[in-house]
Amino acid sequence: MATRARERLVEAAEQLFYTEGIRAVGVERLVAASGVGRASFYRHFDSKDDLVVTMLRGYADGVLERLKADVASRGGGPLAVFDAFAERFAAPDFRGCASINTMVEMADPDSAAHRVAAEHKEEVTDYLDGLLAEAGYRGHRQLAEQLMLLIDGANVTALRERTAEPAKRAKVIAAALLDAAA
């Protein structure tokens, strides 16, 4: 049962932090939402920050795996990434990128949560780099970093505009970059 309590805390944290923000949700709210007692919370996590880091790692892994599967289902090309993001941006529960949201809330680059969120962005950039290298693009690392910039910008713009259109516009820019690099 102890393992399930930990899972319930992480699940509640993922939902609440994503919808309301990390700082807005306290330990009391987390234990109430998860149905786990306060003592159990502290058996599994040293602090709320420890839970934030654990939740972010699991969330980031899941996001990257879903992105890989979505891109593969769309043919595996680098531009398919933007179609996958467009679908995510159109979801009614879309509240932006959890990693970007975390880096904004936990602005100290030395904080563990900020580092985990930044590492996730690097992992996505590495994934893009692999897609581009596999597709035969020279300068694939620089292109991957440019595509990541487009993706991050599209994420923030999609949150502001409440539409999937930023992913579609970013895809047009990405296609021009890839054409120029071919």
CATH number listed for the domain at residues 47-181? 1.10.357.10
| Residue position matching structure tokens 């516009």 | 169
Nearest to 18 by CA among 94, 91, 123: 94
Q: Residue-wise over 91-107: b if at least 16 C-beta within 10 A, else e?
A: eeebeebbbbbbbebbe
Annotated domain spans of the chain: 1-45, 47-181
pLDDT of residue 17: 95
Per residue in 109-144, pLDDT (tens digit) is 999 999 999 999 999 999 999 999 999 999 999 999
Per residue in 5-41, pLDDT (tens digit) is 999 999 999 999 999 999 999 999 999 999 999 999 9
Confidence of residue 3 (pLDDT cuts 50, 70, 90): low
Per residue in 64-111, pLDDT (tens digit) is 999 999 999 999 999 999 999 999 999 999 999 999 999 999 999 999
Residues 94, 66: Cα–Cα separation, whole Å: 15
- Residue 48 above 50 pLDDT? yes
pLDDT of residue 1: 45
pLDDT of residue 182: 85
What the block records as the tokens of 176 is: 């021009």
CATH 3.40.50, domain 1-45, yes or no: no
pLDDT of residue 5: 92
Residues 79, 70: Cα–Cα separation, whole Å: 12
**pTM listed for this prediction:** 0.91
Per residue in 140-182, pLDDT (tens digit) is 999 999 999 999 999 999 999 999 999 999 999 999 999 999 8
